[in-house]
Amino acid sequence: MTCRIAFVLFPGFQQLDLAGPMAVFEVARLARPGSYDWRLVASTPAFARSSAGVEWPVQALPRRLGDLDLVMVIGGDGVDAACRDAPLVAWLRRAARSGARIASICSGSLLLAAAGLLDDRTATTHWSRGRQFATDFPAVRLQPDRIYVREPAVRERQWPELWTSAGMTAGIDLCLALVAHDQGEEVAREAARQLVVERRRPGGQSQFSPLLDLQRPEGRFSALLDAVRQDLRRDHRVEDLAARVCMSPRHFARCFRAETGATPAQVVERLRVEAARAALEGGAHSVQRVALDSGFGSAERMRRAFVRLLGRPPASFRPAGWSAAHA
């Protein structure tokens, strides 16, 4: 059965956000003829101008939504204006009610959030949009350090299946995961091989961002985060962190998330992972020692955090040829 896709564009969309996913479905169709078909659509038909200045021919938003199996919103700098495009937002709401799967690439998730499709659901976006997303759409359970997120359909609430991805290349990971879901692992593996990309990074793998630019010298909590980095062995509970900046725990947690796009616990864990990764790559100590020094308490707890955030266990970050005798 053919999966019929509508790539939703808007003025100022990012070309790579479109080209990467389109290439995945193209090579999947070569491997399994008839598996995918697509069209480019926009609220204003004729042409959509990308942020690079190239105009792409587009059709009008389809009226017969039953003809679509997947609606994929492309990201780009123009997404903020697109969020104010009332006809486009209304069309996305109708598309979600039609039974089609809904997906976004990069900052395209902001448009889904503006349509209310992500309320009370888990999603991700490009790391540079994390603070804006958390502030503008607090009802969304944002996972700012994920490559892509899949939310299953909830039929009794008429919620569609949702896929959101992080940056441009993460859109390729999302689409390879879609191909594996639709056509099987063999087709997804062949698509990855033809594109010369890694065979599907797990969706939980980190974006390897600088944790939403937490190093900003003008950041409200920069001094606090510096103190956390200097003493990672400490528990760093929300109550303790809040007391150090003379705020109530609830007010602190709300302000911290607005500033960083993540919860205090997520940030502390990420700081620990970054410190542990640097220590492991330096090859100075055993895994157990690194786990203690970075505040994880145990090697197993550190391993779980590494797999969740980096997609790899701690031992894989050791220098080539390293052995315990070096510690």
* Per-residue model confidence as pLDDT tens digits over 27-57: 999 999 999 999 999 999 999 999 999 999 9
From the list 277, 310, 312, 309, the residue with the least C-alpha distance to 291 is 277
Handedness of CA 300, 306, 308, 309 (dihedral sign): positive
Q: Which domains does the chain have, with CATH numbers?
A: 3-195 (3.40.50.880), 222-326 (1.10.10.60)
What's the pLDDT score for residue 304? 92
Looking at 173-177, 197-201, 261-265, which range is the least confident one? 197-201
Q: Which residues of 155-171 are buried (b: 16+ CB within 10 A; e: fewer)?
A: eeeebbbbbbbbbbbbb
Average pLDDT for the chain: 88
What's the pLDDT score for residue 199? 56
Report H helices in 38-167. 79-82, 86-97, 109-114, 130-136
Q: Taking residues 281-304, what's their average pLDDT?
A: 88
Rounded Cα distance between 267 and 159, Å, is 30
Q: Taking residues 222-244, what's their average pLDDT?
A: 92
Q: What is the pTM of this model?
A: 0.69
What's the pLDDT score for residue 207? 54
What's the pLDDT score for residue 143? 84
- Cβ contact 40:48 at 8 Å: yes
What's the pLDDT score for residue 212? 41
Q: Taking residues 146-154, what's their average pLDDT?
A: 89
